[in-house]
Chains A and B, each alone.
Chain A
Amino acid sequence: MSERTLQTGHGKWPVIVAAICIVLGCAAWIFQLSAGLLAGSGMSNTFAWGLMIAVFAFLVGFGAGSQFVASYIVLAKRNDLMPYVKVAQGIALAGAIGAGVAILIDLGHPLHIMAMLAGPNPTSALTWDMIALSAFIVIAIINVVAIARNSRLLRFWMVLGAIAAFALQLVEGLLFALMEARVWWHSVVMPIDFIVVAVVCGLAIAVIACALTKGDYNPDALHDLSFLLAVAIIVHIVLALVDLALVWFGGSAADAAAISALGSVWYLYVLELGLPIAAVFVLLLGKKDPIKSMFWGGGLTIAGMFFHRLMLLYPAFGSPTLFVTLSNEPSPAWALPASTGLYDHTGNAFELAQGYAPNVFEWVSMLLPLGIALAVFLIVTWFVGKMTHAQKETAARQAADADEGDVIIEDVEVVELTEKDASS
């Protein structure tokens, strides 16, 4: 769904899809607001963050990652990939705005949001996140305009864009990594992996988009993208395994509980790691039909990244955080049950841990940030296309005017010469 697709008259379907997503997502969100998250989600006090947080991290990764890709193409002067810059910048803005919407939807009391603007707490990583996301969106908008106007300052704004994307992912990583109570998150690897995952996401969507519009790019450029994606995936997998090893060999009761929680959703973890690994093989070994390999490699990667974001939650919330021993004797460390906050639905007031499956309202409300992201992307590509078209028309008109000007000058010269001749 590139700018070219939109210009060829097939743009109505993406618009319809975006509109349907927004309407359905809005309806589900309104239900959640009116009926409460108890009926509108599968969460509990022990599993306090759900699908929307995963979607938030998923979308923000695509936003920052696409900004990395756009900045790389411009700053490295990759003319062979230049047509993708405006698409990448559109995805960057769309991903960030979609992520912002996802986090707003997830709030229990969104009407109090003004409290965050009026008195933000500087020690909260969520405050840093709000600042980083807002700054990223502003810079992404400036970059869109700079691309559309073919600004001479584009390289400068692309540098700022890359810095903003880096800062955003760093803060996202810290948002989880600073949670000392959650051993699955509390790792120095987490912020680094957030940056790498953004690169993976940005390249994955780039690989798919370029494969879909392969006529715009030479084969070497496409091969470069595939290779870069494969390398980024390998780095991410290494970091993910390091993170796993840190918990596996952590030795504490909390570490053991997190591994146990991981084991209970082992199939998600297999998908989280297996899909990107499969993508590496497809991207590097699929030489017979490189375009098809790019399409499948990118698709497998994106699916893997979604499971990766979901798996931020399960081992972290699926395990207790408080472990106690007997007060006066050496004893094993036992987890202490916590109040789930659930009553009408499950009847279990206290549990060591609570399972989580997103309910239908969560799945449908997920369409709202996705639909808004798609709508933003369509608006950006439409805007850039329109501006580019207007610039071409202006340039053509100026060229035509210039041609006419030359004739007039010649006429004047002729006239002058004639007058001189006449006076002489």
Chain B
Amino acid sequence: MRYAMAIDLDRCIGCRTCAVICKDHNAEPRGIWWNRVFVPGAPEYGTSVIVDGMPRMEFLPISCQHCENAPCQQVCPTGATYTDDTGTVLVDYEKCIGCRYCITACPYEVRQFNWSRPDGIEGDAGEYRWGYPADYRQDGRLVYTPVRPEGVVEKCTFCVQYTNEGGTPACCTGCPANARIFGDIDDPESDVSQYLEGKEYYVIGESHNTKPKVYYLPSTRGEGETR
């Protein structure tokens, strides 16, 4: 079993709902974004870039690519970063020493460090404010906690607290255009396998030989205009 995600760039409308819902469901502290969406080449978000004399605007969502050959896992000195049985790359917050070697190793720049004690997760009266409310452990490893320890690294978990219970990541659930499709890439009947079947797709940062499990379906927008 290997969880994977397909992102159809033709469907992505650049609304950044995936980034926000991810932040909400995973109680990401201020300043931390597991998901980001940008227009390649554009100086400002939502503006176009001129290629071959034609304006082009393509939205590209980026989060952890859950690489099979994950450089972050290779360099982690404590084994805090590991790949679970579903192929999801996770961080055990209780083993991370905060050396940030994984941040330097990740070519996708998706790893986030808690530079300060996260606050605002719980309200003034100690009430729950946002995010999945309880710690989530996998084989005893703390892979999600709504109140992050200071000085540890975090990143996308494919919403392990949901997917381990049969659900889908929040970004897939929340995407208004259904641009994200999640599932077991080894199961030909899964949503992601079915969606990718017969279609052209690619991975980003292929030169880094990380073997990502996030597959992008290229946009067809603007093809006619530039030819």
Contacts and interface: CB of A to CB of B under 8 A. Distances in A.
A126 B223 contact: no
B46 interface: no
B188 interface: no
Interface in B128-169: 149-153
B60 interface: yes
B117 to A, nearest CB: 5
Q: Which size bracket describes the interface of B in this complex?
A: 35 or more
B112 A341 contact: yes
Contacts of A36: 114-117, 150-151
A107 interface: yes
Contacts of A180: 71, 105, 107, 208-209
Contact of B74 (A37, A38, A124): A124
Interface stretch (B177-185, B189-197, B214-222): B214-222
A326 B225 CA distance: 14
B104 A49 contact: yes
Question: Interface range on chain A: under 10, 10 to 19, 20 to 34, or 35 or more?
Answer: 35 or more
B38 A337 contact: yes
Given A182-B104, A327-B58, A327-B219, A48 B113 contact: yes
Interface in B1-42: 9, 30-33, 36, 38, 40-41
A130 interface: yes
Contacts of A115: 78-80, 94-95, 97
Nearest to B57: A326
Interface in B32-91: 32-33, 36, 38, 40-41, 49, 51-52, 56, 58, 60, 62, 71, 74-80
- Most A C-beta atoms less than 10 A away, residue of B74, B107, B109, B113: B109
B98 interface: yes
B151 A37 contact: yes
A296 to B, nearest CB: 36
Given A324-B40, A325-B40, A340 B97 contact: no
B74 A349 contact: no
A116 B78 contact: yes
A281 interface: no
Interface in A272-322: 316-317, 320-322
Contacts of A182: 104
Contacts, number: 200
Contacts of A108: 96-100, 113-114, 150-153
A327 B152 contact: no
Interface in A153-204: 178-182
A116 B60 contact: no
Interface in A8-59: 35-39, 41, 43-46, 48-49
A125 interface: yes
Given A109-B150, A322-B205, A130 B40 contact: no
Contact of B115 (A38, A49, A107): A38
A334 to B, nearest CB: 4
Contacts of B216: 327
Contacts of B115: 36-38, 41, 43-44, 341-342
A142 B152 CA distance: 36
Interface centre among B9, B56, B113 (most CB of A within 10 A): B113
Nearest to B115: A38
A179 B77 contact: no
Contact of A341 (B32, B41, B49, B71): B32
A181 B106 contact: yes
A258 to B, nearest CB: 13
B71 A329 contact: no
A251 interface: no
A-B residue pairs, 4 tightest by C-beta? A108-B98, A108-B151, A36-B116, A343-B31
